[in-house]
Amino acid sequence: MADQSYDQYREEMIGRANVADTPELVAYYERLKQLGTGALWTVANKIEPWEPISTSVPYLWRYKDLRDDVMKALDLVTPEQAGRRVVYLENPGRADVVAAVGWLYSGLQVMGPGELASSHRHSASALRFIMEGEGAFTNVDGHKMTLGANDFVLTPNGTWHEHGVAEGGTPCIWQDGLDIPLMNALEANFYEVHPDLQQAVSYPVDDSTATWAGTGLRPAGMAWSKPYSPLFKYEWAPTYEALTKYARVTDGSPFDGVMMEYVNPHTGGPVMQTIGASMQLLRPGERTKAHRQTGSFVYQCAKGKGWSIINGQRFDWQERDIFVVPAWMYHEHANASDSEDACLFTFNDLPVMRALGLYREEALAENGGHQPILT
């Protein structure tokens, strides 16, 4: 191997199929096809790559480009007609499965004052990250929550949920994140509408945060047996406070800056079985190094401005912009300001990767840990 590049070596390694077509083989493949079969060596390289090859592309959706058209949907369709008034984010490589990246869906939902959507539940796990507006609320299994900008809300799989905006509020926009494409890929997706269309509010409003959001405190004697977090809402103010406090005592990660995971306070594990989420803070002027991971990532800028280099491509982002990092692509982040923090919210399918023993992570070794910018 001494005078060969590793790539050449990999190409030539034994076990890789390399059979040239002959008239006899082509006729043979045709016969196999008619028998409902195929020769493995014709597809082996495609179904068994050396490492993950995502069909998703790195992509950025700028809020300023989308906002007017999202608002326009308020005039064009009612929640009753549309079910949900949502503009979804389509990754050019994943249009066939309506994914923003990998097996993750993302969309921007808008609701106006006084509107209320009907209650439903599904196999998909879902989350909201509030982008703008006053008066939004969500009811999850009878727990009604009031929502403000940058609040992160769970509607775990199997929970009845519905959203609305109070009379006297303003039009509200939030990002919906779901594992719908994964549920469809697994052919395990069920959907039901609530028999009463609207479910009752069965607990005091905002009881979930009052009960479970104590910092380092857990309600004594409280049982919880569901496989997702009993805390359904993670508010922005305590999240940002936790990050700024932690930033005083840590250098943070060389790849992600100061990063904290949203966790299930009952277990310390991820918020839902299939979707994890975190918030990271990049200090003024901070520039991280590149790494890659199995798993797909949807980011939303919660504060400040900066850029990320994803697979050699630079994407400049600011508040409310959404961008995606496909599986196993190098990515690194930078805060563009010398005086202000930048914060990035992320949701991902890492709990799936970890549960299946598939999680891997690799730092970029070359070039001081930074990718050359290709475009």
Nearest approach in angstroms of CB 174 to ligand 1HN is: 9
The strand pairing partners of 139, in sequence order, are: 144, 162
Q: Which stretch binds ligand 1HN (CB under 6 A): 45-53, 119-127, 129-137, 335-343?
A: 119-127
- Does residue 100 bind ligand 1HN (CB under 6 A)? no
Q: Which stretch binds ligand 1HN (CB under 6 A): 120-128, 230-238, 265-273, 279-287?
A: 120-128
Q: Measured at CB, which residue is nearest to ligand 1HN?
A: 176
- Does residue 180 bind ligand 1HN (CB under 6 A)? yes
Q: Which of 147, 149, 154, 178 binds ligand 1HN (CB under 6 A)?
A: 178
Q: Give dist(CA 86, CA 108) in Å, integer.
A: 5
Q: Which one, 163 or 266, has the nearer CB to ligand 1HN?
A: 163
Q: Which of 94, 143, 163, 289 binds ligand 1HN (CB under 6 A)?
A: 163
Q: Collapsing DSSP states into helix, strand and coil, what is residue 95?
A: helix
Q: Which of 176, 235, 256, 319 binds ligand 1HN (CB under 6 A)?
A: 176
- Rounded to 5 degrees, φ, ψ at 265 are -65, -15
The strand pairing partners of 318, in sequence order, are: 305
How far lies 49's CA from each of 26, 92, 172, 186, 361, in Å?
24, 21, 44, 21, 17
Total residues contacting ligand 1HN by CB under 6 A comes to 12
Nearest approach in angstroms of CB 96 to ligand 1HN is: 16
Q: Which one, 43 or 76, has the nearer CB to ligand 1HN?
A: 76
Q: Give dist(CA 263, CA 272) in Å, integer.
A: 9
Nearest approach in angstroms of CB 198 to ligand 1HN is: 14
Q: Which one, 110 or 344, has the nearer CB to ligand 1HN?
A: 110
Q: Which one, 159 or 209, has the nearer CB to ligand 1HN?
A: 159
- Does residue 350 bind ligand 1HN (CB under 6 A)? no
Q: Which of 86, 100, 110, 183 binds ligand 1HN (CB under 6 A)?
A: 86
Q: Which of 346, 325, 330 is nearest to 282 (CA)?
A: 346
- Does residue 194 bind ligand 1HN (CB under 6 A)? no
Nearest approach in angstroms of CB 121 to ligand 1HN is: 8
Q: Give dist(CA 192, CA 120) in Å, integer.
A: 6
Q: Which one, 126 or 281, has the nearer CB to ligand 1HN?
A: 126
Q: Are 125 and 87 in contact (CB under 8 A)?
A: no
Nearest approach in angstroms of CB 193 to ligand 1HN is: 11
Half-sphere exposure of 121 (CA within 13 A, CB side): 14
31: alpha, beta or left, given left = phi > 0 and alpha = psi -120 to 50? Answer: alpha
- Does residue 275 bind ligand 1HN (CB under 6 A)? no
Q: Which of 98, 124, 108 is nearest to 275 (CA)?
A: 124
Q: Which of 58, 107, 112, 351 binds ligand 1HN (CB under 6 A)?
A: 107
**Residues 18-37 interacting with ligand 1HN (rule: CB under 6 A):** none
**Residues 212-271 interacting with ligand 1HN (rule: CB under 6 A):** none
Q: Are 156 and 270 in contact (CB under 8 A)?
A: no
Q: Which one, 104 or 259, has the nearer CB to ligand 1HN?
A: 104
- Cβ count within 10 A of residue 253: 13
Q: And the tokens for 361? A: 């992570």
Residue 11 carries which DSSP code? Answer: H
Q: Give dist(CA 304, CA 317) in Å, integer.
A: 9
Between β-strands 291-293 and 297-303, what pairing exists: parallel, antiparallel or unpaired?
unpaired
Angle ∠(63,350,86) on CA atoms, nearest 5: 30
Instruction: Please identify which residue in the block is written with the tokens 């005086």.
Output: 339
- Does residue 84 bind ligand 1HN (CB under 6 A)? yes
Q: Which stretch binds ligand 1HN (CB under 6 A): 36-44, 121-129, 220-228, 258-266?
A: 121-129
- Does residue 161 bind ligand 1HN (CB under 6 A)? yes
What does the binding site for ligand 1HN look like in residue numbers (CB under 6 A)? 84, 86, 107, 109, 122, 124, 126, 161, 163, 176, 178, 180
